[in-house]
Amino acid sequence: MKRLMAALAVTMATPALADDPGVGIRPDVMSVTVPTRTGEAEISRIQDPAHELSGEWARTSRPCPDFCIQPMSPAEGVTTIGELELLEMLADAKATVIDSRTVPWFEQGSIPGAVNMPYTEMVDRLGELGCEIDFDGWTCENARTVALFCNGPWCGQSPAAIRRMIEAGYPAERIHYYRGGMQVWRLLGLSVTDGAG
């Protein structure tokens, strides 16, 4: 009898859930599937409307320096983007989304489909992004379109990486900056990896 009552309760609750539009990315998009090195990953938002950030990501104030508010654009010619544009780039096989944070930060969770290239290694790894080494450094005529992010509007890791890339010859017009970073990504309840994606 208890099993039957439980089954009825679930069945009766199902239509109410069907009427609930849920927490979408856009009104017409509940989730986005993106390729990762380990297979496809689905990005969606946390469905609990009462969910709140806690711990490191809920902090509003960090000492400046080093954690100063970053400008909207880290360099001339670079396009600053938001979450919807970043999702489009994650789904685009011709683009590369780069988590430019150091490895310990990446291992705490990242955006599914992002590749970890720490800002401290960025210039040494431009070959992975379509540049070729030459006698004077790098030639980047075939450079990929990229988007870089770090911890949030107070984090200088991706802006530093972007400026170093441009100094090394990477075309600024092929670089996008997701200024919101992990803090805003988490604030919006979007999916986060465990560092393996």
pLDDT of 2 > 90? The answer is: no
Percent of the chain whose predicted confidence (pLDDT) is above 90: 84
Q: Does the global pTM surpass 0.85?
A: yes
How many other C-beta atoms lie within 10 A of the C-beta of residue 175?
26
The closest of 97, 121, 116, 96 to 106, measured between CA atoms, is 116
The domains located in the chain, with CATH, are 29-187 (3.40.250.10)
Q: Which of 53-57, 66-70, 151-155 has the lowest mean pLDDT?
A: 53-57
pLDDT of 172 > 60? The answer is: yes
pLDDT tens digits, 73-106: 999 999 999 999 999 999 999 999 999 999 999 9
- Secondary structure of residue 99 in the 3-state scheme: strand
Per-residue pLDDT, 19? 63
pLDDT tens digits, 149-168: 999 999 999 999 999 999 99
pLDDT of 18 > 60? The answer is: no
* pLDDT range class, residue 21, cuts 50, 70, 90: confident
| H or E element that contains 81 | strand 79-81
Q: What is the mean pLDDT of residues 103-122?
A: 97
pLDDT of 186 > 60? The answer is: yes
For residue 129, the cross-strand partners are none
| H or E element that contains 138 | strand 137-139
d(CA 182, CA 170): 24
The DSSP secondary-structure symbol of 165 reads H
